[in-house]
Amino acid sequence: MKVLAVEGSTEQASLALLLDGTVVATEAVAGGRRRSQGLFVGVETLLSRAEWTLEDVEAFAVGRGPGAYTGLRVSLTAVQGWALPGHKPVWTVSSAAAVAAEWFAEQPTPGPVVVSGSARRDTIWAAVFEPQAGGGGCRTSDWKLLAAEARGGEWPDLPWVDPRRVPQAEWVGRLYGTGLASEACQPIYLHPAVAIAPRFAADGRPVPEGA
Amino acid sequence: MILLGIESSCDETAAAVVRDGRHVLSSVIHSQIASHRPYGGVVPEIASRAHVGAFPVVTAAAMEQAGIAWRDLDAIAVTHGPGLVSSLLIGLSGARALGQALGKPVWGVNHIEAHLAGMFLAPAAPAPDAACPLLALMVSGGHTCLVEMTAVGQYRILGQTLDDAAGECLDKGANLLGLGYPGGPAIERAAQGGHPDYVHFPRGLEHARHRTTDNGLAIDMCFSFSGLKTALLYHLKKHPEELDGHRADLAASYQQAVMDSLAQRVERALAVTGARTLACVGGVAKNALLRGKLEALARRHSATLILTPLAYCTDNAAMVAAAAGLRVLAGLDNPPALEADPSLPLVGE
């Protein structure tokens, strides 16, 4: 199975090609405002290095965060665009699961671990992952939003993965086929879309102030 | 030449297949109105979230309804500006990925030019060559301007709004009147039976003469709607009881002021340009009062009137594919779709 994996939840986005679970090639994608451009240039560089074409790719794996919304939206939409004409499967997993999988693979006796990342405005997101038999790991807690200085205060008995470790596309790709269920093809949103209260009810009538 | 059009510049996710710039094989629109209605206007973050989910569904439906295979497409045309950048990025990313998967070119289309192309989607509309030169009023929730179009790809902005767009003004007025969102249709409904002269609201820049804007536009061809909204606000503060007894009159008076402002500038532009064809494009072009005023203006100036078909007034992707297709037929290039540009100017001025 030829898989193209995409991870765009941080400024250090990446792409990877995998053949039957083995990494064939990887490509770093420049972040920032030109992220979208970098992704499309990067995938061509990556494919040509492996001497593959998009037509050769049989399935796509993509990280859905938590992380930077714009990067996630671009990568999730791009993957769907690549997959649509050939009706190819798109498999979606949290980017944090990719971080956990990489960490588990480095431990002689892996156990539960906390994965965290920046949620901006002096906050972090965090969740507990536990290793699973087929490889990688499952999230066993809710996503939590914490004050950045509270890192370590929550789940004090568990190790925390170094927050500087960013999710890599190759680990998103390695999780494909490990038995983890594909998740919704939408970024993981830990903040509501709107900070203000609705002004109108569903029937269009104004909502009284303070209601 | 068969093009797939993709549009996501604001709160509609749309895809369409158009042959030879004018023949619509399919047009699918996912409207987010229900999601934005509670807030009385478009919330960019809600819009962007919704585009991600809607893009593949809408695109697949447009291809299926067109009854063609992916390989039958000659190119993909996508709106790359102006618009909300977080929304533009979704359509642009999806279009670029489709182009890579299919090995087809992906062209960037200016949203305003797409609206102008929408007028030619009526089966009875004249061909662009026959209609030009023409004067077009582009009027929507995000844009209000007067454009002189001498040929496909040849545009000159004669005037534009100095503050709010007309559709935005209608949204804000509807908010103040408690009529909900979207404001244009809500005010039009509420105004039925109301007296349009109940309150004489200001027509922005009504008496402006002999001045130009910083970018050289004649003030008397420009629009201003922020004072109108403020006038309604202060009127309601002074007469809060009228919301109960005279809502229809207020809606009718407010709508009258907006449409009068638009029609006044159109009349000046007709006189200055001597255009023999008048067109109206954009979501507010659906308004029956505006349509009536433009019909009367066209008769008075012996001009032919082209009104965009109602189905293609609000944002849609058929107009996007049409714009790219008409450029090709006119021997013009379409730019590659590379970056989203929220302030993309209408080129060819």
Please provide the DSSP assignment of B51-80 as one string: HHHHHHHHHHHHHHHHT--GGG--EEEEEE
Stretch B106-131: mean pLDDT = 96
β-pair partners for A157: none
CB contact under 8 A, A82 and B101: yes
List of long-range contacts for A112-116, beta carbons under 8 Å, 24+ apart: A112/A140, A112/A158, A113/A137, A113/A158, A113/A159, A113/A160, A113/A161, A114/A154, A114/A155, A114/A158, A114/A159, A114/A160, A114/A161, A115/A160, A115/A161, A116/A146, A116/A151, A116/A160, A116/A161, A116/A163
- pLDDT computed for residue A34 by the predictor: 63
Q: Which residues contact A208 (CB under 8 A, 6 or more apart)?
A: none
- DSSP state, residue B223: B
Integer Rg of chain A from CA: 19
- Cα(B267)–Cα(B273) distance, rounded to whole angstroms? 10
- Cα(B114)–Cα(B100) distance, rounded to whole angstroms? 23
Domain for residue A10, yes or no?
yes
pLDDT(B138) > 90: yes
**CB distance from A70 to chain B under 8 Å?**
yes
The answer to whether the bond into B133 is cis (omega within 30° of 0) is yes
In this structure, of A29-33, B1-5, B68-72, the range with the lowest mean pLDDT score is: A29-33
Dig out the tokens for A78 from the structure.
Answer: 């791009």
Q: Which residues contact B194 (CB under 8 A, 6 or more apart)?
A: B246, B247, B248, B249, B250, B251, B252, B253
Dig out the tokens for B154 from the structure.
Answer: 């040849």
- pLDDT computed for residue A32 by the predictor: 61
List CB contacts (< 8 A) between A82 and chain B: 97-98, 100-101
- Cα(B98)–Cα(A81) distance, rounded to whole angstroms? 5
**CB distance from A198 to chain B under 8 Å?**
yes
Residues of chain B above pLDDT 70, percent = 99
**CB distance from A86 to chain B under 8 Å?**
yes
CATH hierarchy code of domain B128-307: 3.30.420.40
Domain for residue A78, yes or no?
yes
Domain of residue A101: give its range: 2-176
**CB distance from B97 to chain A under 8 Å?**
yes
- DSSP state, residue A135: S
Per residue in B13-27, pLDDT (tens digit) is 999 999 999 999 999
Residue B155 CB-half CA count within 13 A: 23
**Separation of first and last alpha carbons in chain B:** 27
- Cα(B94)–Cα(B230) distance, rounded to whole angstroms? 40
Mean pLDDT of chain B: 94
- pLDDT computed for residue A42 by the predictor: 96
- pLDDT computed for residue A211 by the predictor: 59
Can B2-117+313-329 and B128-307 be said to share one CATH topology? yes
- pLDDT computed for residue A49 by the predictor: 96
Per-residue confidence band for B153, with pLDDT thresholds at 50, 70 and 90: very high
CB contact under 8 A, A78 and B48: no
β-pair partners for A80: none
User: Is the domain covering B2-117+313-329 a CATH 1.20.140.10 domain?
Assistant: no
Which candidate, A71, A69, A76, places its Cα nearest to that of A90?
A76
- pLDDT computed for residue A33 by the predictor: 59
Stretch B157-179: mean pLDDT = 94
Stretch B170-183: mean pLDDT = 92
- Cα(A93)–Cα(B49) distance, rounded to whole angstroms? 18
CB contact under 8 A, B53 and A199: no
List CB contacts (< 8 A) between B38 and chain A: 198-202, 207
- pLDDT computed for residue B329 by the predictor: 97
Specify the length of chain B in residues. 349
**CB distance from A190 to chain B under 8 Å?**
no
**CB distance from B86 to chain A under 8 Å?**
yes
**CB distance from A49 to chain B under 8 Å?**
no
Domain for residue A27, yes or no?
yes
Pairing between β-strand A137-139 and β-strand A123-131 as defined by DSSP bridges: antiparallel
**CB distance from B72 to chain A under 8 Å?**
no
pLDDT(B212) > 80: yes
Domain for residue A62, yes or no?
yes
**A47/chain B closest Cα distance in angstroms:** 12
Q: Where are the domains of chain B?
A: 2-117+313-329, 128-307
Which candidate, A64, A211, A209, A95, places its Cα nearest to that of A161?
A95
- pLDDT computed for residue A31 by the predictor: 67
The answer to whether the bond into A110 is cis (omega within 30° of 0) is no
Q: What is the CATH number of the domain that holds A149?
A: 3.30.420.40
Q: How many domains does chain A have?
A: 1
DSSP B241-299: THHHHSHHHHHHHHHHHHHHHHHHHHHHHHHHH--SEEEEESGGGG-HHHHHHHHHHHH
Per residue in B294-344, pLDDT (tens digit) is 999 999 999 999 999 999 999 999 999 999 999 999 999 999 999 999 999
CB contact under 8 A, A70 and B70: no
CA-nearest residue of chain B to A43?
B100
CA-nearest residue of chain B to A203?
B180
Per residue in B250-294, pLDDT (tens digit) is 999 999 999 999 999 999 999 999 999 999 999 999 999 999 999
**A178/chain B closest Cα distance in angstroms:** 25
Name the stretches of chain A with pLDDT < 70.
Answer: 31-35, 202-204, 208-211
- Please name the amino acid found at residue A165: R
- Cα(A160)–Cα(B23) distance, rounded to whole angstroms? 59
**CB distance from A205 to chain B under 8 Å?**
yes
- pLDDT computed for residue B349 by the predictor: 47
| Nearest by CB: A77 against B52, B101, B175 | B52
CA-nearest residue of chain A to B101?
A82
β-pair partners for A137: A131
| Nearest by CB: B338 against A37, A79, A81 | A37
- pLDDT computed for residue A209 by the predictor: 66
